[in-house]
Structure 1
Amino acid sequence: MDLDLLGTFLDVYRTGSLSAAATAGGLSQPAVSGRLARLERQAGGPLFDRTPRGVLPTARADELARRIAPHLDALRQAVPAGGPEAPEPLGTVRLAGPAELMSLRVLPALAPLIARGLTVRASFGLAEDLLAALGRCEYDLVVSAIRPAARALRATPLIDEQFVLVATPALARTVDAALLGANPVTALSHLPLVAYAEDLPIVRRYWRSEFGRRPPNPVALTVPDLRAVLAAVVAGVGASVLPRYLADPALASGAVIQLHRPVIEPLNTLYLVTKPGCGGRSAEVVHAHLRDHARQWGSL
């Protein structure tokens, strides 16, 4: 088998994406598809199942990767780069975003690229601060919960967050169900809130979207980490609004329940933001990989 075919196969296998493999190998996506088709003919069957969220390796692919990966990696290390078709090293990317999403979704998704030699310098912070730093080229790529206003920055939609209003079952039992249907603001007004910040950015947005006004509730705790907000809610401190991806495990276990069920859960779009001239090929590879990987997440 042609080593180029095997190299492309291994890139697809490790990234789970034809486009990410194309970027990593310095090829077009049709070229990657063509190489993969040739290799599948030689292998005697499909190596990947194509899905809307990327590609999934078959058992034949798992076995081929197990057999060739150590040898191909050794060859890649032994043969100096610089030939006309040799892909550049992945290098380093300076990536920033919200701590919770970066910790639970973004950074784990980069494991295949890190295994191929990518170095990640991750930072956490608030969207406004991170976008301002990106404008100064202090980062290569920012995951942002807001669309940047600056024209110098380019934003690509990544994924939609869904938000849910949650509390413990004990607190939920203090809410009058009939009043909740007729006047939810009044029905929920006695519940203490756990919030991400003093101005209640997530909670306030939910109340205004669903109920048409700010929450009148007392605020029991503010803490700038949504994982800590969830822990406080589970402990019975109060109610809060959280991204569904973060709340789902506690909802599934029964530690918290959803207090209010809107017809359509409020959404917030997350963006991948870059600045032309900042970052390089590493940022382009990460950008393509995260966009492909986000299809596997669905709505968060």
Structure 2
Amino acid sequence: MNEPRGGLPPLDLLSTFLEIYRSGSLSAAAQRLGVSQPAVTGQLARLEEQIGEPLFVRSHKGVTPTQRAAALASRVGVHVDGLREALRPSGAEPPLHGTVHVGGPAEVMTLRVLPVLAELTGRGVTVRVTHGLADDLLSQLADGRLDLVVSAVRPSRPGLLAAPLVDEEFVLVAPPALAHTVDAERLRAEPAAALAHLPLVAYAEELPVVRRYWRSEFGRRPANRVAMVVPDLRSVLAAVAAGTGISVLPRYIAAPALASGEVAQLHHPEVAPLNTLYLAVRRGAPADPAVTVLRDRLQQAARRWNTL
């Protein structure tokens, strides 16, 4: 990766770059920043000159970030947001208005995102929350029915912009009674075979979470019998704790039951399997202060979460 010419770019150039990257439009970035579009264009040109390569591809639909832009946004976004927050004048924050439509998986929305949304409602915004699977939620975002989506998959639609939010760590859990039926030596040598007699509790018929873990850690699809399918990871945990079978869950969901001994971690990989959650918005959407504040607050909260 090329280093910027002449040292670190000024904060104002990086702030402008992030607004362009997040909105997908020079005009939307200008509106959000409260400056003219020529001023935004000029600051981008200065940054691209300092970086030494283009950061966006222009078209009649807006701008598309290059790989260099995506890498730069990932590296500096959190830091620039933090500096802007630190430099914000003291005193009460201004009120916000309107309605923000937010979508995401029920579990992470309930356990992590809702406290951030509550802060937004305290400033005068009405929030409408939609739970669902990533593909459907991203379709609603692209169609304008949602303003922001927490997505368990990286959006591939050309009309959407996404930034990594936080990583989920996954654990294989079992009720203690079933965990005791697994031969520890065979589990180390032939883990898939050692676990094959245990029934599964799944999130969906296609076993999306379990299948990914089996392929990542054991190099194959699970051959286990499926005892129960329940479309909520918190219910999956309850079924495992009740003795129905084993399953794979994000650690932030399983942690209380692991700590209390209701379930046991059945497998301990050298490197924990992760899945990245993304924060997605519509490219070129009008700059809505409430959506921008929510996006910024979620990114700040994710830094405190570290890994889920």
Superposition TM-score tier, normalisation by shorter sequence? 0.7 to 0.9
Counterparts of 2:172 and 2:259 in 1: how far apart (Å)?
15
Tell me if structure 2 keeps the 8 A contact 1:142–1:272.
Answer: yes
Mapping 1:1-300, distance limit 5 Å:
33-34=86-87, 87=94, 89-278=96-285, 280-300=288-308
Partner AA of 1:127 in structure 2:
A
- Aligned-pair identity in percent equals 59
Counterparts of 1:113 and 1:206 in 2: how far apart (Å)?
36
Tell me if structure 1 keeps the 8 A contact 2:101–2:148.
Answer: yes
Tell me if structure 2 keeps the 8 A contact 1:139–1:278.
Answer: no
| 3-state SS of paired residue (1:110) | helix
Counterparts of 1:29 and 1:264 in 2: how far apart (Å)?
30
Counterparts of 2:101 and 2:84 in 1: how far apart (Å)?
29
Partner AA of 2:181 in structure 1:
T
C-alpha change, 1:175 and 1:112, in structure 2 (3 Å) is: same
C-alpha change, 1:180 and 1:113, in structure 2 (3 Å) is: same
Alpha-carbon displacement from aligned partner over 1:238-296 (angstroms, at most 9, x marks no partner): 00000000000000000001000000110000000000244622111100000001111
C-alpha change, 1:272 and 1:184, in structure 2 (3 Å) is: same
| 3-state SS of paired residue (1:163) | strand
Counterparts of 2:99 and 2:185 in 1: how far apart (Å)?
56
Counterparts of 1:254 and 1:218 in 2: how far apart (Å)?
25
Counterparts of 1:31 and 1:125 in 2: how far apart (Å)?
33
Counterparts of 1:101 and 1:157 in 2: how far apart (Å)?
15
Counterparts of 2:223 and 2:164 in 1: how far apart (Å)?
33
Q: Report how many aligned residue pairs link the two structures.
A: 230
Two-structure CA RMSD over aligned residues (Å) = 2.2
Q: Mean Cα displacement is larger for which, 279-288 or 144-153?
A: 279-288
Counterparts of 2:104 and 2:162 in 1: how far apart (Å)?
14
- How far 1:219 sits from its partner (Å)? 0.2
- Where does structure 1 differ by over 3 angstroms across 4 or more consecutive aligned residues? 26-36
- How far 1:112 sits from its partner (Å)? 2.1
Alpha-carbon displacement from aligned partner over 1:165-214 (angstroms, at most 9, x marks no partner): 00111000000111001100110000000000111000000000000000
Tell me if structure 1 keeps the 8 A contact 2:105–2:131.
Answer: yes
| 3-state SS of paired residue (1:295) | helix
Counterparts of 1:224 and 1:273 in 2: how far apart (Å)?
23
Structure 2 alignment gaps of length 5 or more: 1-32, 35-80
Tell me if structure 1 keeps the 8 A contact 2:141–2:148.
Answer: yes
Structure 1 alignment gaps of length 5 or more: 1-25, 40-67, 74-86
Counterparts of 1:205 and 1:124 in 2: how far apart (Å)?
22
| 3-state SS of paired residue (1:105) | helix
TM-score of the two chains, using structure 2 as the length reference: 0.70
C-alpha change, 1:207 and 1:35, in structure 2 (3 Å) is: closer
Counterparts of 2:102 and 2:186 in 1: how far apart (Å)?
46
| 3-state SS of paired residue (2:157) | coil
Tell me if structure 1 keeps the 8 A contact 2:95–2:123.
Answer: no
Alpha-carbon displacement from aligned partner over 1:81-107 (angstroms, at most 9, x marks no partner): xxxxxx562422100000001011101
